[in-house]
Chains A and B, each alone.
Chain A
Amino acid sequence: QSALTQPASVSGSPGQSITISCTGTGSDFGNYNLVSWYQQHPGKAPKLIIYEDSKRPSGVSNRFSGSKSGNTASLTISGLQAEDEADYYCCSYISSNTFERLFGGGTKLTVL
């Protein structure tokens, strides 16, 4: 199973908004395959920032938002800050036999 498709890199200036896409096949993003997003700073464990396509865990800034339409999920970060510079990964549950999750290839966000 190939990874979900994300752009390798995106960039933006402080205060701007950026969107990271995550594209899968129909079976990756079926009606019940809810998408999560993770932020990972260098040398750190991933951190959940969006779950069930668009929900934010407690404590995560409302500058982070998620959406999904068809085979594409999206993460938008508004009001970019230097601390947002990190790698971002989408994730979907894809198999009821193996309980497999599928991650995106990851997107490096650079804040200029």
Chain B
Amino acid sequence: EVQLVQSGAEVKKAGESLKISCKGSGYNFANYWIGWVRQMPGKGLEWMGIIYPGDSDTRYSPSFQGQVTISADTSISTAYLQWSSLKASDTAMYYCARPEYSSSSRFDDWGQGTLVTVSS
């Protein structure tokens, strides 16, 4: 069974750094893309970017390029989303999800979400 387990909720101050994680199990982690999706409070889903853990090929949505960094560590089957300097507007739920393939909009598997709260 494929599982994506995300790290726990975070409460941070503006200007602080943060790295959240998404651990995959039940499949060959290196061989499947992992994407990240933001959901701000009371709002819809927004695509952030995607990484192929096998070679660290990473693609960002233009909206998030330069704002976050996506990475992965195949040795521990974990993908990451990190910020170097958080803003209050980064307050949101963040989901990792595994697409069927690089160009698919089909995401069968999702993490449970990580709530990030940033105070100004």
* Given A45-B112, A98-B60, CB of A104 within 8 Å of CB of B106: no
Complex interface residues of chain B between 1 and 43 (CB less than 8 A to chain A): 33, 35, 37, 43
A93 interface residue, CB < 8 Å from B?
yes
What count of chain B residues pass the 8 Å CB interface test? 29
A70 interface residue, CB < 8 Å from B?
no
What count of chain A residues pass the 8 Å CB interface test? 32
Contacts across chains A and B counted by CB atoms under 8 Å? 77
Complex interface residues of chain B between 53 and 90 (CB less than 8 A to chain A): 59-63
A101 lies within 8 A of B113 (CB): no
A101 lies within 8 A of B35 (CB): yes
B62 lies within 8 A of A98 (CB): yes
Contact of A36 among B44, B50, B105 (CB under 8 A): B105
B105 lies within 8 A of A104 (CB): no
A89 lies within 8 A of B45 (CB): yes
A105 interface residue, CB < 8 Å from B?
yes
Complex Cα distance, B47 from A36, in Å, reads 14
Chain A residues in the interface with B (C-beta under 8 A): 1, 3, 32-36, 38, 40, 45-48, 51-52, 57, 87, 89, 91-93, 96-106
